[in-house]
Structure 1
Amino acid sequence: MIELKNADLRIKLNESGAELTSVAAPEDGLEYIWQADPKFWGRHAPVLFPIVGRLKDDQYQLNGETYQMTQHGFARNQKFRVLDHDDTHAVFQLQASDETLAKYPFEFDLQISFTLDAHTLSVAYQVTNPNDQTMPFSIGGHPAFNVPLNPVEGDFSDYHLTVAPKKVYPQVPLVGPYNDHQHEKMLNLTTPLTLDHDLFDQDALILDLDHVETTLMLSTPLNDHGVALTVEDAPYVGIWSPYPKQAPFVCIEPWWGIADSLESDGDFNHKLGIQTLQPQQQFTANYQIRFF
């Protein structure tokens, strides 16, 4: 377990999956991150790579070959190497192995850095393509936040999701685990959205951000605590809580990719939202979480 700390926050990161497992305020012990009770969902903040969401039949085709890969890819279940670590910064690395090559036929170098500054944790992804061919991939975050943050002050329905810019967002619906982008809906987020478990009866709410910098905040009028996640250049963000379990957490998930569409032909290069990285090139993306 790797720890970051300053006067405001104590953070724990696990080499398994490079997963953020705890963000706590030392002053009052307030825990912001979902603590992975398997009754509801046994993860905290998994990394999604090299796919986001579900593939049709958990498989895809590439260069005439068929590969098997389960939801959200394999990075969340891999042991990362710690490249650098001090009190306010840590860098984790994952590279291809025989196990990953059987699922995803590319060498790769994935580095994830966490930087703590006052009340803000910055998360940065760097994907390098060392191959002599174009590398298709997706990546995303999946941090889960306790709602309510303090169980003696309010419950799930006392919290709101506030999104900036305030506007009506295109929403990509899900049909089962697959996206139905051809029938986009519109979600009015000009005012805060009151949380209700029934919001998630069709799985995640997926907003099409069109690469516009966006901040999503979870808060309650009952106290001054909450979280605000800002993503600078993501095509999508997912907002999720498991239904119908009525779990006491909400995930805010910046995505550079999306689940297969209903009409997907299975060809990985045709996948909606897929990123493509040229040989010897790097992809970078980041988001920040402010805890208050």
Structure 2
Amino acid sequence: MDNDWIRIGTAQLSAAINPLGAELSSLRDGDGRELMTDADPRFWTGRAPLLFPVVGRPYRDTIRIDGTPYPMKQHGFARRRRFEVVEATGTRAVFALHDDEETRASYPFAFRLEVAFAIAGATLSVTVTITNPAATPLPASFGFHPAFAWPLPYGRERGDHRILFDADEPGRLKEIAADGTIAPREVDSPLDGRVLHLADALFAHDALVWAPVHSSAVRYGVDGAPQLDIAFPDTPMLGVWTKPGAAFVCVEPWHGIADPEGYEGDYRDKPGVFAIAPGGAKVIQLTVALVHPQGA
């Protein structure tokens, strides 16, 4: 139920966040039109899960730390945990998750994961701060997974929507193996210059994965109609995903990625994992701005 969702907003943009997972669950324009997924259970009931402490699927749903195996499901446990509501005002809400006995059974580290949502004008900012309270380095990875409405609610055809990257992306894409890990093969990029023309066929075999991604922002929508500018200055990888026929597309900035196929190395050494110094913190940001065509 959504009666415990925390709501923030301005006259131009409003959001609702579910304390379960600190998940952005609704984003509406000033006229109340929904900009996010309809969460149709025929496809996917997620909305914008936070991916921590892993992004993607660990090989055999297991991570290994100093030779000890630990169970870890795809995208980690944060999305299934209830966060403390630290602050809630008209335009800002802050949530926090700490390690406990349950988290340490799969991820044997002390941590604080804080997520701050704020709206100014027509821009939502999400600031994630991962803090290491321990005396030894904290290995971690983190990803965003927001699912935006496809089509956006502005009367344009689904097939006219595209994602425009803000930099050239000359490399090939990672291929996802049958078990959800990253295959050693790579695939040709579907970009037309800097443009990804959205179509269900792109996602017949799972997500598109840029690792690395050179862009730090994309624009999603249709020219001549309101669009979303999605900026991710702190994440070096990007996934784009949907299930064919669904009314959403996920734009997923990641600092981390699924295990390489067959990976049995240490969690600290897998691609995308970073280390936070004792007493230190890492900040990862995402912004989503609703932009209207000039003259509108």
What TM-score, normalized to structure 2?
A: 0.91
Alignment of 1:159-198 (within 5 A): 159-176=161-178, 177-180=180-183, 183=186, 185-198=188-201
Could you list the runs of 5+ residues in structure 1 that have no partner in the other structure? none
Matched with 2:227 is: 226
Matched with 1:217 is: 219
Residue deviations 1:245-290 (CA, integer Å, cap 9, x gap): 4111100001010000124224212211111112111111111111
Q: Secondary structure at the match of 1:82?
A: strand
Kindly indicate whether residue 259 of structure 2 is the aligned counterpart of residue 260 of structure 1. Answer: yes
Deviation for aligned residue 1:233: 2.4
Q: Secondary structure at the match of 1:47?
A: coil
Matched with 1:110 is: 113
Distance between the aligned counterparts of 1:191 and 1:56, measured in 2? 32
Matched with 2:45 is: 42
- Cα 1:108–1:42 change in 2 (3 A) is same
Q: Secondary structure at the match of 2:159?
A: helix
Contact 1:122/1:287 (CA < 8 Å) preserved in 2? yes
Distance between the aligned counterparts of 1:196 and 1:64, measured in 2? 43
- Name the Cα RMSD after superposition: 1.8
Alignment of 1:131-146 (within 5 A): 131-146=134-149
Deviation for aligned residue 1:156: 2.5
Aligned partner of 2:99: which letter? A
Contact 1:174/1:180 (CA < 8 Å) preserved in 2? yes
Aligned partner of 2:25: which letter? T
Aligned partner of 2:127: which letter? A
Kindly indicate whether residue 65 of structure 2 is the aligned counterpart of residue 65 of structure 1. Answer: no
Distance between the aligned counterparts of 2:43 and 2:15, measured in 1? 23
Distance between the aligned counterparts of 2:106 and 2:141, measured in 1? 14
Could you list the runs of 5+ residues in structure 2 that have no partner in the other structure? 292-296
Residue deviations 1:74-120 (CA, integer Å, cap 9, x gap): 00010101112211111110001111111111110000111111111
- Cα 1:189–1:236 change in 2 (3 A) is farther
Contact 1:209/1:234 (CA < 8 Å) preserved in 2? no
Deviation for aligned residue 1:64: 2.6
Matched with 1:251 is: 250
Kindly indicate whether residue 240 of structure 2 is the aligned counterpart of residue 239 of structure 1. Answer: yes
Q: Secondary structure at the match of 2:228?
A: strand
Contact 1:170/1:187 (CA < 8 Å) preserved in 2? no
Contact 2:190/2:196 (CA < 8 Å) preserved in 1? no
Aligned partner of 2:276: which letter? L
Residue deviations 1:130-166 (CA, integer Å, cap 9, x gap): 1222221110100000011228x24421211111114
Deviation for aligned residue 1:213: 5.0
Kindly indicate whether residue 203 of structure 2 is the aligned counterpart of residue 203 of structure 1. Answer: no
Contact 1:168/1:187 (CA < 8 Å) preserved in 2? no
Deviation for aligned residue 1:186: 4.2
Matched with 2:79 is: 76
Matched with 2:294 is: none
The answer to which of 275-284 and 14-23 deviates more is 275-284
Contact 2:138/2:275 (CA < 8 Å) preserved in 1? yes
Contact 1:22/1:35 (CA < 8 Å) preserved in 2? no
Distance between the aligned counterparts of 2:120 and 2:217, measured in 1? 18
- Report how many aligned residue pairs link the two structures: 286
Identity over the aligned pairs, expressed in percent? 33
